[in-house]
């Protein structure tokens, strides 16, 4: 997952993590996708150091395999 790779490159400080995640989330939105609330909550936990990138990847993999849900959802069209 490209956003995981981008975030891993900036693991030195919380500010670096914020910049990396903001960049990665921006790339996702360029593709017309919108991250789920659960994913955004995991991102915030990772920024604070309460969750690792590996834990996020494992959680996303488990949710995808168990529920068949997509990690991202298309934005609602008004």
Give pLDDT tens digits for 17-66. Answer: 888 888 889 988 998 989 889 999 999 999 888 999 889 989 988 887 76
Q: What pLDDT score does 65 carry?
A: 72
Q: What pLDDT score does 4 carry?
A: 64
More confident position, 10 or 38: 38
The model's pTM: 0.62
Tell me: pLDDT of 76 over 60. no
Count the Cβ atoms, other than its own, within 10 Å of residue 7.
24
The residue assigned the tokens 């069209």 is 77
């Amino acid at each position: 997952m490209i956003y995981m790779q981008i975030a891993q490159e900036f693991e030195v400080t919380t500010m670096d993590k914020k910049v990396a995640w903001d960049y990665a989330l921006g790339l996702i939105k360029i593709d017309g996708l919108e991250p789920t609330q659960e994913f955004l909550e995991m991102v915030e936990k990772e920024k604070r150091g309460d969750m690792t990138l590996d834990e996020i990847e494992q959680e996303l993999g488990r949710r995808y395999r168990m529920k068949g849900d997509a990690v991202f959802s298309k934005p609602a069209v008004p």
